[in-house]
Amino acid sequence: MDQVLSSWNEGQPKERIIKFVRNATDQESPNYLSPESRIAVFDNDGTLWSEKPTYFEGFFVLERLEELYRTNPEVQHQVEQNPAFKQLLQKNFTDLHLTQKEVLDLVLLTHTKNTQPEYNARVKKWAETARHPQTHNKFTDMVYQPMLELVRFLDENHFKIFIVTGGGVDFVRRALSETYGIPPEQIIGSSIKYQFIDKSTDNSTLFRKPELSSFNESDGKPENIQLHIGKVPVLAAGNTDGDAEMLKYANDNNRPGSSLQILIVHDDCEREYCYDKHPDSEKVLLQARTSNWIVVSMKNDFREIFPHRLAQRPD
What residues line the site for its own copies (CB under 8 A)? 36, 39, 116, 160, 169-170, 173, 183-185, 187, 191, 193-196, 198-206, 213, 219, 222-223, 226-231, 245, 248-249, 251-254, 287, 291
Separation between Cα atoms, residue 159 and residue 182, nearest integer Å: 12
71 versus 200: smaller Cβ distance to its own copies: 200
CB of 260 to its own copies, least distance (A): 12
* Number of residues that make up the chain: 315
CB of 149 to its own copies, least distance (A): 22
65-78 CB burial, b ≥16 within 10 A, e <16 = beebbeeeeebeeb
Q: Are 268 and 244 in contact (CB under 8 A)?
A: no
22 versus 209: smaller Cβ distance to its own copies: 209
CB of 277 to its own copies, least distance (A): 23
16 versus 248: smaller Cβ distance to its own copies: 248
67 versus 219: smaller Cβ distance to its own copies: 219
CB of 2 to its own copies, least distance (A): 31
47 versus 224: smaller Cβ distance to its own copies: 224
Helices 56-71 & 169-180, crossing angle to 10 degrees?
130
| Spacing of C-alpha 25 from chain mean position | 27
Separation between Cα atoms, residue 297 and residue 225, nearest integer Å: 27
What is the layout of strands, in order, in the sheet containing 160-168?
205-214, 187-197, 160-168, 39-42, 235-238, 260-265, 294-297
**CA torsion 140→283→261→55, rounded to 10°?**
-10
Separation between Cα atoms, residue 196 and residue 194, nearest integer Å: 7
CB of 130 to its own copies, least distance (A): 21
132 versus 160: smaller Cβ distance to its own copies: 160
CB of 152 to its own copies, least distance (A): 17
Q: How much is the CA Rg of the chain, to the nearest whole Å?
A: 20
